[in-house]
Structure 1
Amino acid sequence: MFSSVLPLVFHLGLVGVHAQTYTATYLPSNAPPQTEQGQAGTNQCGTGANQTSLCQNAFVNAVDDFCLFAPPNPGPGSVIGNTERIEVSWCLKSGYGTRVIPAGAITGAHFVHTPDYVQVTGVGDLTKINIPAGDAGGELDPHGADGNGNPIGGLVFSSAFTGQIEQVHEWTNFVAANQFCFRACKDAPIAPELCNHIYDVMGCEWNMPGNYNPGFDTCSGDSGEVRLATHISSYYPIDIS
């Protein structure tokens, strides 16, 4: 769950950098039907759009071309904490074989391109993509407690770094009933730190400082700083799996 109470933490530069290797790299055109055991949806999505699609491929390309992971079904039980393993992709544009975010659901989106990642932050009425009203939300990422991801098998792609669609292996997406943020990191040794998945309870504004107001814009910026888990773990019981 997101938290609005912030402890005093220290920021450090690019620390704890470690080599990262990835066992598989896909494109939307060659992804298998499923990439993880226990996956509820699919990565073989085709093109077009379908409001009942179970596609679990997301894209973070531009302020008018991004996706969010959100519940496949409406209802009070579809809070992110209950559905994080089965979320499906909802996109602003058709053509990815996903569900399309309805008009009016996004009232603010702010896209930032940095040397190491792209991110989009914003607000809206995300009950239109099946998040129950009042849900404070939670984090989606490619790891999860068992390494299979939240959602299981979710893949993220971006054309923002090279102009060509490529898989982004490190990413993090927070969604709530009225707020969202999505960061996709360029494959590099620092990617796991800049797109970490250890501050689940802290929410968007702490994990991805940025603009959370209505309106739409795009800008370039510097990469953010890496935060050390040791300075916050004594304040909150945070899952650092």
Structure 2
Amino acid sequence: MYLTVLAALALPVLARAQTYSATYLPSNAPAKSEQGQTGTNQCGSGSSQSSMCQNVYINAVDDFCVFAPPEPGPDSVIGNTERIEVSWCVKPGYGTRVMPEGTITGAHFVQTPDYVQVTGVGDLTRINIPKGDEGGELDPHGADGNGNPIGGLVFSSAFGQVQQLHEWTNFVAYNEFCIRGCKDGSKAPGLCQHIYDVLGCAWNMPGNYDAGVFENCKGDTGLPMGVYGTSTFHQGDPVTPSAHPAPSSSLCTPLGTIGNIAQGTSSASVASTSSAVVSSSLPSSSPAASSPASSGVASASGSTSGSASSAPSSGSSTATASRSSGATSGATSGSSAGSSSGTPSATGAASSAHRASRVEWEAVALVLGVVGGTMLI
């Protein structure tokens, strides 16, 4: 597998650096945590559909948020709005916007020893993502270290008391989403890697994307995206390997709905379910990585051919069912595997070029982080 010079230099930085410029709680976050931030991190409680809150939570299948555009319109593709996205949550109470009825049609929460993750599908045009926009990645770094969106913070109470998760990654498209927040520690940068921004949900976060299912699960820690044994794939290498197999998950607790946002559910008649993840000992971590498959070449526009993007795993869960890990292969139709350029247009093409250069600058930013001895956030 091929490694560019920048990637080879950046990887040791990711492995060592665990110093962050600041750590916040929702109760003590400043109005703006980064220069150039358009929204706020002092969000209060309740909810407002005009909120500019940029705090996201990942707690359970009926208690999570994603970042999405603040305004509707054909120009609100993720590639154009990644720096100004705001928080859209399943439930009120965080001072954010609340996803409208019909937004989510399937969602799957998994808690592992090292991260929490939600994967799913829906009609995300209801949270201002233009129809047809294949979306892109949002993360706490960005090209300048201020994040996409600038100042976006992620919190979780899944590991005990609410805490900030400094490393996270979130893909959103018009019909699919995934978000992962990593527990602080040496594994966090690799498990919440942010350099594969054109490869989409199924490649970065293989898991369950079934519609019509809402569940809380325990799960194994997956393999770091892009790492195959002793080799590390870098976006732009001549061959894009297949996604890792989806990690095993078990102890899944299904929910009928997740409040008023599930398709066809009346907001007047259904209250938000407060379902906790099943308490139990966590499964062991995933087996060693397998060798990459030579299946597909990343194109200049950020799309992949062959099986560069893996298809979501299938199958529903019961309260005691165990979902074994298996390879996910084939191209994902309509997944957020785009180049953050959205629908084919002049603005989309510009966004594709922007993201291509952004990958290089992110690597440079990580290398330069060695000089200051800190991890950029």
TM-score, normalised relative to structure 1 = 0.91
Alignment of 1:189 onto 2:186: yes
Query: 1:64 pairs with 62, 65, 69, which one?
Result: 62
Q: Deviations over 1:154-188 (max 9, x none)?
A: 000000011x1111100000000000000000000
Query: 1:224 pairs with 222, 237, 240, which one?
Result: 222
Count of residue correspondences: 227
Distance 1:131 1:234 in 2: 30
The correspondence of residues 91-170 of structure 1 with structure 2, limited to 5 A, is 91-162=89-160, 164-170=161-167
Amino acid at match of 1:234: D
**Aligned residue number for residue 76 of structure 1:** 74
> Higher relative contact order at CA 8 Å, sep ≥6: structure 1 or structure 2?
1
Query: 1:175 pairs with 165, 172, 177, which one?
Result: 172
* Structure 1 position 19, deviation (Å): 3.6
Contact 2:168 2:180 in 1 (8 A): yes
The alignment partner of 2:190 has SS state of: helix
Alignment of 1:234 onto 2:234: no
Higher Cα radius of gyration: 2
For structure 1, list consecutive stretches of 5 or more residues without a partner in the other structure. 1-6, 8-14
**Aligned residue number for residue 198 of structure 1:** 195
For structure 2, list consecutive stretches of 5 or more residues without a partner in the other structure. 2-10, 239-297, 301-355, 363-377
Contact 1:78 1:130 in 2 (8 A): yes
Alignment of 1:210 onto 2:213: no
* Structure 1 position 231, deviation (Å): 5.3
Distance 1:159 1:61 in 2: 6
Amino acid at match of 1:178: N
* Structure 1 position 217, deviation (Å): 1.0
Distance 1:131 1:181 in 2: 14
Distance 1:187 1:46 in 2: 25
Contact 1:118 1:160 in 2 (8 A): yes
Q: Deviations over 1:122-152 (max 9, x none)?
A: 0000000000000000000000000000000
Bigger shift: 222-231 or 65-74? Answer: 222-231
Give the percent of matched residue pairs that are identical in Structure 1 and Structure 2. 70
Cα distance change, pair 232–30 in 1 and its aligned pair in 2 (3 A): closer
Cα distance change, pair 72–222 in 1 and its aligned pair in 2 (3 A): same
Contact 1:18 1:190 in 2 (8 A): no
Distance 1:128 1:145 in 2: 28
Distance 1:143 1:49 in 2: 27
Alignment of 1:29 onto 2:27: yes
The ranges of structure 1 where at least 4 consecutive aligned residues each deviate by more than 3 angstroms after the TM superposition are 228-233
* Structure 1 position 190, deviation (Å): 1.1
Cα distance change, pair 19–50 in 1 and its aligned pair in 2 (3 A): same
* Structure 1 position 49, deviation (Å): 0.1
The alignment partner of 2:16 has SS state of: coil
Distance 1:232 1:200 in 2: 8
The alignment partner of 2:198 has SS state of: helix
**Aligned residue number for residue 367 of structure 2:** none
Distance 2:77 2:233 in 1: 29
Distance 1:106 1:89 in 2: 15
Distance 1:114 1:33 in 2: 32
* Structure 1 position 230, deviation (Å): 3.6
Contact 1:40 1:86 in 2 (8 A): yes
Between structures 1 and 2, the one with greater helix share: 2
Q: Give the alignment's Cα RMSD to 1 decimal.
A: 1.6
Distance 1:232 1:188 in 2: 25
Distance 1:128 1:140 in 2: 19
TM-score, normalised relative to structure 2 = 0.58
* Structure 1 position 220, deviation (Å): 1.0
